Amino acid sequence: MMRLLIKGGRALHGEVRIKAAKNAVLPILAASVLADGECEICDVPKITDIDYMLTILRSLGSDVRVEDGHIFIRNQGISDYIVPGEPAKELRSSFFLLGPLIGRMRRAVVSYPGGCDIGVRPLDIHIKGLREMGIAIEESHGKIYCDGNRLKGADIALDFPSVGATENLMMAAALAKGTTRISNAAKEPEIVDLQNFINAMGGKVSGAGSGKIVVEGVEKLHGCRYTPIPDRIVAGTILIAGAVCGGDVSVANVIPEHLEPLLFKINKSTCQLTVQSDKISLVAHGRPKVFDKVETQPYPGFPTDLQSQIMVMMSVAEGTGVIVENIFETRFRIVRELTKMGAIITVKDRTAVIRGVNRLEGAAVSAADLRGGAALVIAGAKADGYTTIDNARYIDRGYEAVEELFGGLGVEIKRIG
């Protein structure tokens, strides 16, 4: 079992350049299936979720090569519409291939996807929307079988602004006959990025970032060169680490607007923020002050993917605060691990009450999911003594070489086992 060993207690200093966002790259890689011609995706981090997606694309017949953070994909050889079960079990985003395969092949077979166990993430929103576009869907033995021979544009109202469902429907609609209108669409920056990528391939998508997206189907899409948006969650993780551990850190190649919910919270603490057009710097002046309440919401609210990290900050802040998790019901599994390190946290249902302590102590802890694992790295960097984190493979899903990322800021961290 791969583990991380961290010796805590040092302030952080340095600058991190942020690469393309995992949550933008994965749907963009899926959408490349729609293109005739080569797509080049730039500035891509080396993380296992992307490796799994590339494995799936190769199994479908795509020609994929990776060179210095650039991914080149040619899909002329795609002949299969069945997403293999094994890599799909490891990757939640394998379900993103449903829409593009229906668009290109008019058929798709996808296993129920895996990924981090952070709660129930129902697929019925995806399936309901696809059925409204004329797609016949059957579910049997853990697989979803889709017949898209009658694929057409439709007016779809989502029951919840699901990011995955919004993206899947956008991709299915790109090559459909007619116009698709998606109401109550997710507004995340990654949705806008997918729109821009489809349009760079010759698509006609508008409205992303608002609650209504319009997709005019086209006959074909071509290849393109595209650089996805930088990863707001990685950037936020580094800024929170600086606030927790003290010192001064900067994140470069960022879009500050995407981090506004976090910056609003940090501004209420004792940290000094300097925000430029593509760079954010943080100087921590002593122990942070708690903010009364953090409540996760769909964008532009506070992101669930930064909830575990902000919990670490609240654990060492001055005062008592509350976190309400509205997106995924099992995000609080990190509480047990933080308690081992001396945090004082009480949980009832989807609400956590955190009473800040002066110090954390190193302990043997275990990552249960990607963002919780990253939060434990922050806690380990703050704690007195040594911390070991089991299941580091979860962290590798979304953070490239996490030991180098934090080591470059002065954290004494290494991979063992």
Catalytic residues: 116
Question: CA-based Rg of the chain, rounded to a whole angstrom?
Answer: 21
Please tell me the total number of residues recorded for the chain in this structure: 417
Task: Give the list of residues 6+ apart from residue 255 with CB closer than 8 angstroms, or none.
Answer: 189, 229, 230, 232, 278
CA nearest neighbour of 100 among 69, 157, 146:
146
Query: CA angle at residue 173 from 167 to 174, to 5 degrees?
Result: 90
118, 326 in Cβ contact below 8 A? Answer: no
Pairing of strands 204-206, 212-216: antiparallel
CA nearest neighbour of 282 among 261, 300, 267, 299:
267
Alpha-carbon gap, residue 334 to 316, rounded angstroms: 15
Q: What single string gives the DSSP state of each residue in 244-281? A: HH-EEEEEES--GGGGHHHHHHHHTTTEEEEE-SSEEE
Alpha-carbon gap, residue 115 to 328, rounded angstroms: 13
